[in-house]
Amino acid sequence: MELFTVKNNYMTTQQPLSDADVIKTNIQNIKDEITHYLLHQAVLERLIADCEKIFVSKIAIPKITGSLSSLRKEDLSLDLIPIQNATKEQLEARYKWYHYTLELADNKIAIEVKTNLLVEYQEHLRSYYNKQSTKITDEMIYDKLTTAQSLKNLNPDEQKTLSGIIAELPKRLNGGQDSRIELYESLRNLILQHG
């Protein structure tokens, strides 16, 4: 099936995208989205750091109690300026900090979701190419068909499925490699489903 597109008032034909092309396009779109999220994450982290500089007290207090001579730099923490002593600018900075941290958390979740989706698409693409490289011979199909026909106690749905597969057999055998793979997988799934 050809699709027609109009460019500059001229009609041109365009071939439909293959499954692999669609998957590749989706992978690229997801990578682009992840890149945007990562760029936004860097901006949010910088904004959060800038806000903290405004409302964090410069007074260092120890995180541990003990001998002052044994304190290390990592044992010190900065305290927040108390709300009652904060200036308007410091209050606004804390307010912005809160919203930036929420947005950063959402952003990190979105990155994780998109990364997982990317992995799924990449696995799907590998599976697609593995299928395309698999040659399904007549003997392989005949073996599965013989096994499927020898199954006993098929339920009505399984019998209907097997009858449909047999009716479509010549058409699928003479179809392309994709059709042969679908035929083989249909027979295999029927056998596995029956147990």
Q: Which of 40-49, 61-70, 77-86, 123-132 has the highest mean pLDDT?
A: 40-49
C-alpha to C-alpha distance for 116 and 110, rounded to whole angstroms: 10
Sequence-ordered list of residues with C-beta below 8 angstroms from that of 126, at least 6 positions apart, any chain: none
Q: Which long-range contacts (CB under 8 A, 24 or more apart) does 111-117 make?
A: 111/34, 111/37, 111/38, 111/41, 114/30, 114/33, 114/34, 114/37, 115/34, 117/30
Are 56 and 154 a contacting pair, CB within 8 Å?
no
As to burial, measured by CB atoms within 10 angstroms (0-12 exposed, 13-18 middle, 19+ buried), residue 44 is: buried
pLDDT of residue 24: 80
pLDDT of residue 74: 64
Are 44 and 104 a contacting pair, CB within 8 Å?
yes
What tokens appear for 180 in the block?
């042969």
pLDDT of residue 188: 83
Select the more confidently predicted residue: 103 or 173. 103
Angle between helices 19-55 and 88-133 (to 10 degrees): 160
- What is the tens place of the pLDDT at every residue in 22-63? 878 888 899 999 999 999 999 999 999 999 888 887 765 556
Are 179 and 136 a contacting pair, CB within 8 Å?
no
pLDDT of residue 25: 86
Residues shown for the chain: 195
- What is the tens place of the pLDDT at every residue in 154-179? 888 888 888 888 898 888 888 777 78
C-alpha to C-alpha distance for 182 and 191, rounded to whole angstroms: 14
